[in-house]
Structures are given as structure tokens and as C-alpha cells.
Amino acid sequence: MSKELDSIMRPQSIAIVGASSKPGTVGNEIVSKLKEYGFAGAMYPVNPKADEICGIKAYKSILEVPSKVDLAVIVVSKDQVFGVIDQCNEKGIKGIVVISAGFKETGAEGVKREEELLAKVRQYGMRMVGPNCLGVINTEQGIKMNATFADALPLAGKTAFTSQSGALGAAILNISKDLDLGISQFVSIGNAADITTETLLDYWKDDQKTEQILLYMESISDPQEFSRLAKQVTKNKPVIAIKGGRSAAGASAASSHTGSLAGADLAADALLKQSGVIRVNSLPEMFDVAEAFANCPVPKGKRVAIMTNAGGPGIMATDAICENGLEIAQLDEETKAYMKSYLPEAASVKNPVDMIASAPLEHYQNTLKALIKDENVDAIMVIYLPLMNLDPMDVSKVIMEIKAENPEKPIVGVIIAKNGFFTRINKIEKNIPFYQYPEPAANAMSKLYAQRVWLERPEGREPSYQVNKNKVTEIISSALKEGRSQLTTLESIDVLDAYGIRTCKYAFAGTVDEAAGQANRIGYPVVMKITSTKISHKTEIGGVIVGINSEEQLRNEYNALLQRLKDKNLQDGFEGVIIQEMVKGNREMVCGVATDPQYGHLMMFGLGGIFVETLKDVAFRVNPVTDIDVKEMVQSVKAYKILQGSRGEQPANIAQIEETMLRLSQLVKDFSFIKELDINPLKISDKTGEGVAVDGRIEVKFDEARKALSGLNLTSSVSS
């Protein structure tokens, strides 16, 4: 673990600059909380008008403090912060927590003020939490630091937590105490001018006192760095995150299918998946999942056994288990025979095991022990519905006693009781998580299994293919010289072909006679597609004609196409048509690339054709992608079953489709100014199972492309 943040998280002495003797103020609360929590080091309140605060000697200035100071917690007005930072530098302090507000959260003037603050901190070689934050906590014995103004005094534990929202952080600290979820360290990063979520991931990844990490994020400041660090951390300990802003538009305004589908926060969601971060969507879910990881080992598999004293909750649990991607375990015959030996005849020994309402404590003991021993069971859900005057606390204690003797399998308890039970159970030391209903329990179990899948997931690699990069450069350069950022269909297909992506046989024709000649050469049936500098979606004007079986039909269709263009006043952009071989196949997929303003290129794969934006059966990943990322993308869409083939249909060549995605990834890495790219459809050949690009659409960022290719002395016919 890096020692860089130790002056903040493991200080031996703290100065509270702006400490106050007035109760209810932030400056008073921080001194009070440090004292009440039992900070093990020296405390130095700083206030020019006070002799002592909370019974501790106060100093007029930080420069008057007689001893070395590791950490300064600053609670003064925004205009005074800069002078305090200067004094901290003079004192040799390297750790700063700026509670003070009035920086970038207030607007343009505040942004400038924060930039000046960060520059000063960097100049002095300090590290800073904040500004505009709640503070920091370390519950470790020998430190015992609560340098916040939150109400709750947190319980010590092994969960580290950081929040971009101070108020939400305070609420979570309160709730964690009620739920008996212990905290190792807490950092409210506020505006995150210096210390960010990425900084803390790096700090916590090797911290022996931290076994899981909770994140509340409103943004990811450095997606690539976040992903790099998260991949390291999540291979050793779970990271559970709430990412706010799910409804906010993320991708740039787009005209491509891929771009229009890449809205909301799909980029963040993809990044978290690729990084092994477990995403949750609410505070209740975060605590449900955190409790599971705090009390359960990661299961070896996804086979779950359910034991219950009521049939209804057992059925509900079964549904929840299956809906969360887990499996109902097939119990060993020996296990079922043993349970039959003591359970009443009315009981069911199939999974879920229904011990019926009269089940005494002994039945819970014997059944749980039997399920633990069953090698077909990876995890167990124990359900108790209070009946027959059996105290749910007694049932819970029996479960925990057995778990203590058998720690190797995850066990979760579902006690369908009043809230009072959970108040009672959270006051004692637990070794399993307890839930009020089967659904959150099943969800938490699925997250445990997701961590197992991630731990066993191969690293993945980014293959490099031999491609014709020069050809792509020439094609894009030619478009730029004409003042175009949008490549024609023919140019787009040529680019794909240059990168080894399987395209159908094609040729350009500028006249009807050329079109007939090319069709005769390629062989009927053929497809005819318009190529135009003004038309993006060809199908909207009938610009794609399939199943042309003769020269006569081709000439008729060509003339009809020209007439449609004239009717819509679009003939000026008409360049000609592309004649393509007609690939026979009913299965159509889509591959594409969109650009997110923060996360960069997003790769997309899914069900294609004209319903791509209606059905939205697509998966996204942030580029660059590995072979494992692409495999997961392809397998995650519902249409994957179609690719596998059914009713005698030729299975798709999955490996070739995955290679197509990897070649696209290489293309947009090599030409980073590509803004949007679509292959729709990527038609699956009935004959070979190959994915064949029968259409393509590429748009570049004009200014970026021109700058990147400026060595070619490009000229433009339009101003930019």
C-alpha cells in the first residue's frame, strides 16, 4: 500500500484550523467528534479568539503549535483557506482536509478559485481531501480518528467507503451503524480536486484492514485510470459501487444506430463491468450486498439450496434465485434420504426443502448441516417465517452456530419478521447476513457469485492484426479534402475491408450501364445500394434494393431510385450505387462504435436490422476491448441463442464474429478521430455461418482528423 496518504489517514497529530467553542458549528463538531471517538494522537484546535475548545488547549495560529503536525483539517471561510495553506506549508504539514465550501460547486468563479487552490497544494507537495467535504475517518485501533461532522460514531470493521456527496456519506455512516456494518476507513472526497476515487482505490488495494470497498460516485474523473486500478483491486477484494446520474445523457448527439443507443450511462455501466466492480442501484441494495460480502465467503459455484418452514416463501425464493442467474441445486439422493429420516411425511425434501410450519429447532439444525455437507450445494438460503411460537432469534442463533462450525459455504438468512427482529439481531455479533425477504437475499447471493466469476475470469488480451492502414488514411484524407466528415457507403466498406473485416463482394457504379456490368460480373442475385454524400439512412428513401435477379430488373430499379431522389430533391448528393453479392441469411446483427464525451469510444454488439433501436438487444464495452470482453459481449445478448443455431440452422461462426469486433477495436484505436461507426447489418451467412458486413457507415471528427493527418497537406473546401 502506498504511504502517500498516511499523513491524512494515519496521522499522529491533527490541527483543526477554524475550530470553534460554539456548539452546533462545524468547527466545534469536528473537535468534539475527534475527542469523543478517542483519537489516539495529539489534537491542536486553532482559533485566534479561544484559549481552549472542548477542554483542549487552543492556539491562535497553526504556526504557534509547538509540535509537529501531520494533518490539518481546515474549517474557515473560502477566502481564508489560501492563507491557512501557506501557513501549513511553513509548518511542514503534508496532509490537508478542506471542509470549507465555496469552490467549483458554486459556479465559474468557484472553479477558478479551486484551480488556484489545487495549484498551491501541488506547489507545496501536499495531498488534499476536498474542498467542500465531510471529512475523513479511520477506525483502526491506535488511530481512532473521526475527523468529520457526521452524527454517527462509526463501528470499527473491514469496509472502506468513499462518497462524492458529503450528506449522503453522513447518511450511510448512520445506516451502517444501525446495520452493524463496520467501517475501516471513510473519506468524503467532496469536489475531489486532488484526492479522487482512483487515489483511494490505489491506497486501499493492499490495506490489510480493508476487505471490501464501497463507492458512491457521481462521476468518474479518469475512466482509464479508474479501470486500471479497479481491475487490480477487484481481483483481491470486492468493490461495490453506486454510480449516480443513470438517467443523464452520456453519449454525444448521434445519428448512427450505435450512437443513439449509447445514451444514459451505458458507458459507465460498461466500464464498471469491465473493471470487475459490482454495481448496485440504491442504498438498500448496497447495504444488502455489503452485508453479504462482510459475512460470506465467495461461493465455488451458483447452485443454491433453499430450506424453509413455509412453501410460499420457498417458491418466491426459487423464482428470485433463478431470476438472478443462479441455479436451484439438485440435492444428492443420500442427502434427501437422510432428511426423510427425521422430517414429517408432509415435508418435501426436494429443493426447496419445505420442513413445514411445525419445524422445530432440531430440524433447522439437521437440515442445514445436511445441506452444507452436500457437494451439489454451493450456497444456502435459510428461510424462517415465525410460526408455532418459535422465536426468530433462537432460529438465527442456531444458524449462526452452525455457520461458525462450517465457514466454507455462504449462508444467508431470510427472517420474514417485523422490523423489531432486525433491530435486535443487529445488536449482536453476526456471522451471516439477514434479510426480511427472499428477493434481496437472492440478489446479494448473485453478487457473491459474480465475484467468483470475476476472480476466475482470464486476463484477456488485445490482439493485433495485419491491416492496410495506409488505405484507410487515403480514404479519410480524400473525404477531408472534399470537406466531408461523413464517409460514403463505398468508402466505409473499403475501410472495413482494409482492416480485414469480411465484406460481401461489391463494386461501385456511376451509371445504369456500369451497374448492369458489375452485377453481371458478380453474379445474380445482387443488392443495389445508393451511395450519397447527403443520405445517411438509405432505407428511409428506398435506397437499398435486395433480390435483384436479372439485368432487366436491375435497370428498372435503378431508374426508379433516381426518380425517388428527384421527388425528394436529394439528387445533388447522388454519386452512384454499390452492387453487392446477396448474402443469404435471416440472422442480422449489428456492430458499431460510438463516442462518449468522457469515456471515449464505446464498442457495441447486438441484434441488428431495422429493429435495432426498437428492441435494443445490444451490449456495450469501453474501448480498448480484449478478447474476453468481446466474448462476454457476444454471449450477453439475447440474440446469442439465434447465433448458436436452431432447427437445423447453420450455427454462426462465433470466433469470426468476435474477431470482427476486435478488428473494429483496432481500427478506432489507430484512427482515434472516428466519431461513429456502424455495420448494420452484419449478416450471418446461411452457408458458412460467417458474419458478413453488407453495409457500413463511418463518420469522423473533422477538425481532429484534419489535425491528425495534417502531415499530408490536406486542404478543405469548407471552413471548420
- pLDDT tens for 419-450 read 999 999 988 999 999 999 999 999 999 999 99
Cα 165 from Cα 355, distance rounded (Å): 47
Residue 712: which pLDDT band, with cuts at 50, 70 and 90? Answer: low
Q: 76-90, 176-190, 298-312, 658-672 — which is least confidently predicted?
A: 176-190
Mean pLDDT of the chain: 92
**CA 526/CA 719 separation, integer angstroms:** 40
What residues contact 596, with CB distance under 8 A and at least 6 apart?
250, 251, 252, 262, 267, 602, 622
Whether residue 54 sits in one domain with residue 122 = yes
Same domain assignment for residues 120 and 28 = yes
Report the C-alpha gap between 283 and 296 in whole angstroms. 20
pLDDT for position 247? 54
Give the pLDDT of residue 533: 73
pLDDT at site 154: 87
Task: List pLDDT tens digits, range 79-119.
Answer: 999 999 999 999 999 999 999 999 999 999 999 999 999 99
Quote the pLDDT of residue 536. Answer: 64
Q: How far apart are CA 88 and CA 97, in angstroms?
A: 12
552 & 599 share domain: no
Residue 560, in any domain of the structure: yes
In CATH, what number is assigned to the domain containing residue 485? 3.30.1490.20
Choose between 580 and 47: higher pLDDT.
47
pLDDT at position 259: 46
Q: Say if residue 253's pLDDT is above 60.
A: no
Same domain, 612 and 680: yes
Quote the longest CA-to-CA distance of the chain.
102
Query: What CATH number does residue 104 fall under?
Result: 3.40.50.720
Tens of pLDDT, residue by residue over 133-175, are 999 999 999 999 999 999 888 899 999 999 988 888 888 888 8
Residue 50 lies in a domain: yes
CA distances from 155 to 41, 139, 183, 287 (A): 19, 7, 6, 15
- Which of 67-76, 313-322, 465-474, 604-613 has the weakest average pLDDT? 604-613
**What pLDDT, on a 0 to 100 scale, did the predictor assign at position 179?**
85
Percent of the chain at pLDDT > 70 equals: 95
Top pLDDT among 11 and 571 is at 11
User: What span, in angstroms and rounded, lies between the C-alpha atoms of 335 and 307?
Assistant: 13
Cα(207)–Cα(139) distance, rounded to whole angstroms? 13
Buried-state track 304-336, b at ≥16 Cβ within 10 A, e below 16: bbbbbbbeebbebbbebbeebebebbebbeebb
pLDDT of residue 474: 96
10 pLDDT tier (thresholds 50, 70, 90): very high
- Clarify whether residues 205 and 117 are in a common domain: yes
Does one domain contain both 331 and 436?
Answer: yes
Residue 372 cell numbers, joined: 452444507
Inside any domain, residue 174: yes
Q: How far apart are the first and last CA of the chain?
A: 49
Report yes or no on 142 lying in a domain: yes
> Cβ distance 35 to 52 under 8 Å?
no
Q: Is it true that the peptide bond before 410 is cis, omega within 30 degrees of 0?
A: no
Q: How far is CA 516 from CA 166, 294, 510, in A?
A: 70, 71, 11
Rounded to the nearest 5°, which phi and psi values hold at 156?
A: -75, 140
Look at residue 598 and tell me whether its pLDDT is greater than 80: yes
Phi–psi pair at 72, nearest 5 degrees: -115, 120
Amino acid 23: pLDDT:
94
CATH classification of the domain holding 639: 3.30.470.20
What's the pLDDT score for residue 256? 46
Asked if the model's pLDDT at residue 258 lies above 80, the reply is no
What CA–CA distance (Å, rounded) separates 363 from 359? 6
Q: At what angle do helices 361-373 and 392-405 cross, to 10 degrees?
A: 30
Domain boundary among 173, 193, 210: 210
Same domain, 571 and 622: no
Q: Concatenated DSSP letters for 170-193?
A: HHHHHHHHHTT--EEEEEE-TT-S
| Angle, alpha carbons 174-177-178 (nearest 5°) | 90
Question: Treating both helix axes as pointing N-terminal to C-terminal, what angle do 469-481 and 654-670 enclose, rounded to 10 degrees?
Answer: 60
pLDDT above 80 for 681: yes
Whether residues 527 and 608 share a domain: the answer is no
Cα(504)–Cα(35) distance, integer angstroms: 74
Residue 577: in which H helix or E strand, if any? strand 574-581
Whether 432 and 483 map to the same domain: the answer is no
One domain for residues 420 and 489: no
The answer to whether the CB of 246 falls within 8 A of the CB of 254 is no
Region class of 162: left (phi > 0), else alpha (psi between -120 and 50), else beta: beta
414, 382 in Cβ contact below 8 A?
Answer: yes
Residue after which a domain boundary falls, among 184, 210, 236? 210
Residue 240 has pLDDT above 60, yes or no: yes
In this structure, the answer to whether residues 343 and 426 fall within a common structural domain is yes
Q: Is 218 a member of any domain? A: no
Residue percentage of the chain with pLDDT more than 90: 79
Give a yes or no: residue 675 inside a domain. Answer: yes
The reported pLDDT for the residue numbered 260 is: 47
Find the domain containing 90 and state its range.
Answer: 6-210
Kindly indicate the confidence band of residue 715, based on its pLDDT and cuts at 50, 70 and 90.
very low
Kindly state the cell numbers that stand for 526: 445482387
Residue 184 lies in a domain: yes
Cell of 339: 432428511
Domain-embedded: residue 237: no
State mean pLDDT over 28-57.
Answer: 96
pTM of the predicted protein model: 0.88
Cα dihedral 215→216→219→220 (10° resolution)? 0
* pLDDT for res 246: 62
Q: What is the CATH number of the domain that holds 309?
A: 3.40.50.261
How many independent structural domains does the chain possess? 4
What does the block give as the cell for 231?
481491475
The pLDDT value recorded for residue 1 is 46
Greater confidence, 648 or 14?
Answer: 14
Tell me if 396 sits within 8 A of 413, measured CB to CB: yes
Q: Quick check: 516 pLDDT over 80? A: yes
User: Domain boundary at 516, 547, 581, which?
Assistant: 581
Regarding whether 623 and 657 lie in a shared domain, the answer is yes
